[in-house]
Chain A
Amino acid sequence: MADVILAGVGGQGCVLSARIAAETALSMGYDVKTSEVHGMAQRGGSVVCMVRWSEEVHSPLISSGSADFILAFELLEGLRYVEYVSREGTAIVNNYRLDPLPVLSGDEAYPEDTLENIHSVIPRMLVVEARELAVEAGNARAAGSVLLGALSSFLDFPADVWEESILCLVPGKAREVNRAAFMLGRKTSARM
């Protein structure tokens, strides 16, 4: 069983990655629940999706402070939702910064020490250059699959079940790129 938070920016692919993780857990025979974000929040806003699997799952929303994993698609968003993660949980963080509008407009500053702050409360942290690895796999938009690859190395689901979910849910030409991105992500955890 596991509770996973996926936090990022609208347009980064959190919803799709959440569905891939859910599909994989479902294939493994678990009861699975997810919660997604649609509509206005998707327009470049802060986005959080949740995936839970177990013998029986009740709430689609994860209790604050109890998630086993956070997949942070962006540094600031990782820090924003870190309170959902258990102190014994694992933070998988894309080392990637996207300035929100209040920062772009110069009204507020982007926090400088996001990684250090996340690490200060969640000791188990894996920093992933997901964007670079996704570019290596063929497309920067596949960063979510790199993060899923990293997540997969902490779980005992076979790689081919993950790949099956990716092939099933990612549309058209992007399939192979995402599969490659997943495999690159899966290898990164050795660096932790």
Chain B
Amino acid sequence: MSGNEAVASGAYAAGVRVAAAYPGTPSTEILEELAKYGDIYCEWSPNEKVALEVAIGSCLGGARSLAAMKHVGLNVAADPWMTLPLIGVNAGFVLVVADDPGMHSSQNEQDSRYYARMAKVPLLEPADSQEAHDMVADAFALSERYDTPVMLRLETRISHSRTVVEHREERMKIDLPYERDAVKRVMIPGHARLRHPIVIERLADLEREAESFRFNRMELKSSRVGIVTSGVCYQYAREAFPEASILKLGFIYPMPEKLIREFASHFHRLFIVEGLEPYLEEGLKALGLDVVGKSRIPREGELNPTVVGESLSELIEMDTGVQGGGWSRPWHETEAGMEWQLPGRPPVMCPGCPHRGLFYALGRCKAIPASDIGCYTLSVLPPLEGIDCQVCMGASVGMALGLERAFASSGVNRAKAGSVVGVLGDSTFIHGGITGLIDMVYNRTLSTIIILDNRTTAMTGFQDHPGTGRTIMGEETRALDLEELAKAIGVDSVRVIDPWDLTETEKVIREEVGAPHTSVIISRRPCVLLERAARDYYEVDADLCNACGRCLRLGCPAIVMRGESAFVDSELCAGCSICFQLCRQEALRKVTPDG
């Protein structure tokens, strides 16, 4: 099973009754798997803050509860996260956070371990799917024993690696009574001052737990090389240096000081193998230990056995006298013959993607688009080059407002005022854009917001959200009406367009961006991947095509230039007709497949 499936399976066995999340790679499948059991209340929350709050409520209500999110999601949820430890729990509370070193599918590679330390919350980190499964049960037990939330940290190579798991079948039954306890659960300053010392005191007890945690493991082999590591980095270290002694930690906040000192006593210095920030390294240095960490191991990007080997082999060779420290350089680094330059293959918007027409039209309108995060962010690449700036989900609304204000009050940028748009997805608008839109109306800003409503959360794999009318449990529900919402907020003009209609799309954008009022354009067309029915496709009449290249400006993977004319791959084409609308030679024609 994948690490995410293992977490879900462990949570089921631990008797979790409520689980909430907002989808985000690499954490998404945790909730999808939990929802399959059918007898756990699971929800896609509008965002991670709400997900965390739902789980807080349910844990106080006596149900073991789990919230799952990706690393940047915890930024959104940081507010309740930082006060929850003061309140503590009733039934157990576990937060699962999945980091993404190397940014396979993220906008940053922040290290969530510091969120546990900052909140003074115990932090467990599994090294494979089996540990992920088993640690969930340990986390809930710790949570209830010490009246604290517990954080379980995954990363991409735990979440999306599949390793063998023996899983517990029987399900625990945890159902605790709810009793009012306002001094503990209402954090007015007077109460919080009483609670904070308790949080600090329990850290000593938690450190004792850390000392004897079953997933810490000391593997004593070489007497000259001692490595301290945790999580999947343990696997990389073990692979790169099979003869090294390793202290593999599973409980990393608070850290087991005695265990670390005992291990350290065998070596004149320690190597710390960890990805991203020097979290373990700082902890060991605070103990006064002589360690080598980020001076050798990269602080950015993803580790793997090769990077670990490359980083430490020289020093380990010095300590052991063994060539390369027992690690050998890959052949392609020492031999000639690998010097070819290859074109990159960045991810692209799919053929038929509804975002393509919208961004083509935006480009024609010379708009200055602030964006947020979704498939449409891919429009930044040539040839569309569709967005100017992007930070996090929902941010495009506030950023559009700010850009507009800066331009309006500027000498050099004055001409750009009135051309700012904020673009964001349906799911991310609900996640983090609504309050920004209220700000625009409240502070009378004349920008235009475009909601790219493709009726799903596409990038993470087509999850439902409050606008789709369906829950993660597959139930029909009331769908959020974006038009009515925008009107209720007080937006002056709300228009709906079909981005497959280029002429209308461009016309509406020009009208609304130029108009002296706050406007919302809803660009509505379901994600082309949602239905895989047989579709019309287009083909090029090579005699009519003059190879002008206009259709290539769409960046559609289905269109290539072959010799003297364009060619449409009928298997890839989704029949959106945008190339047809662009072609001045009328060289494209629609084909309707039989049946």
Contact = CB atoms under 8 A, between A and B. Distances in A.
Contacts of B342: 76, 79-80, 111
25 contacts: A26-B164, A32-B163, A35-B160, A37-B104, A38-B104, A38-B105, A39-B460, A40-B459, A43-B378, A46-B345, A59-B232, A59-B239, A61-B157, A63-B239, A63-B330, A66-B330, A76-B342, A87-B331, A99-B560, A103-B343, A104-B560, A104-B561, A105-B383, A108-B343, A120-B337
Interface string B155-193: 001001111100000000000000000000000000000
Contact of B382 (A10, A59, A105, A110): A105
Interface string A42-84: 1111100000000001111111111000000000110110010
Interface string B455-496: 000011100000000000000000000000000000000000
B161 to A, nearest CB: 4
Interface stretch (B33-41, B301-309, B360-368): B301-309
In this complex, the interface size class of chain A, counting residues with CB under 8 Å from chain B, is: 35 or more
B557 interface: yes
A109 B571 CA distance: 23
Contacts of A129: none
Interface string A100-132: 111111111111000001001100000000000
A54 B326 CA distance: 21
A34 interface: yes
Given A65-B332, A121-B338, 8 more contacts: A26-B164, A38-B26, A39-B105, A43-B349, A45-B345, A100-B345, A107-B382, A121-B337
B330 A65 contact: yes
Contacts of A109: 343
Contact of A60 (B235, B338, B555): B235
A181 to B, nearest CB: 16
B352 to A, nearest CB: 12
Nearest to A15: B160
A44 B350 contact: yes
Nearest to B234: A58
A41 B347 contact: yes
Given A33-B161, A36-B162, A60-B161, A101 B104 contact: no
B348 A40 contact: no
Nearest to A107: B382
A159 interface: no
B377 to A, nearest CB: 8
Contacts of B534: none
A31 interface: yes
Contacts of B571: 140
Contacts of B340: 79, 111, 117
Contacts of A103: 343
A42 B240 CA distance: 29
Given A46-B344, A76-B343, A79-B342, A40 B164 contact: no
Contact of A43 (B26, B239, B375): B375
The 6 closest A-B pairs by CB, nearest first: A65-B330, A39-B105, A39-B25, A45-B347, A60-B161, A100-B345
Contacts of A87: 331
Contacts of B160: 35-38
Contacts of A62: 305
Contact of A77 (B104, B345, B549): B345
Interface in B550-590: 552, 555, 557, 559-561, 571
Contacts of B349: 43
A40 B347 contact: yes
B26 A105 contact: no
A61 B459 CA distance: 24
A111 B559 CA distance: 19
Contacts of A111: 340, 342-343
Interface-centre pick from A26, A83, A110 (highest chain B CB count, 10 A):
A83
B243 to A, nearest CB: 13
A33 B381 CA distance: 34
B238 interface: yes
Contacts of A100: 343-346
Contacts of B12: none
A9 interface: yes
Given A36-B162, A104-B557, A42 B347 contact: yes
B2 interface: yes
Interface string B365-403: 000000000010010011100000000000000000000
B236 interface: yes
B163 A101 contact: no
B161 A64 contact: no
A179 interface: no
Contacts of A37: 104, 160
Interface string B18-45: 0000000110100000000000000000
Nearest to A113: B340
Nearest to A46: B345
A110 B309 CA distance: 33
A180 interface: no
Nearest to A60: B161
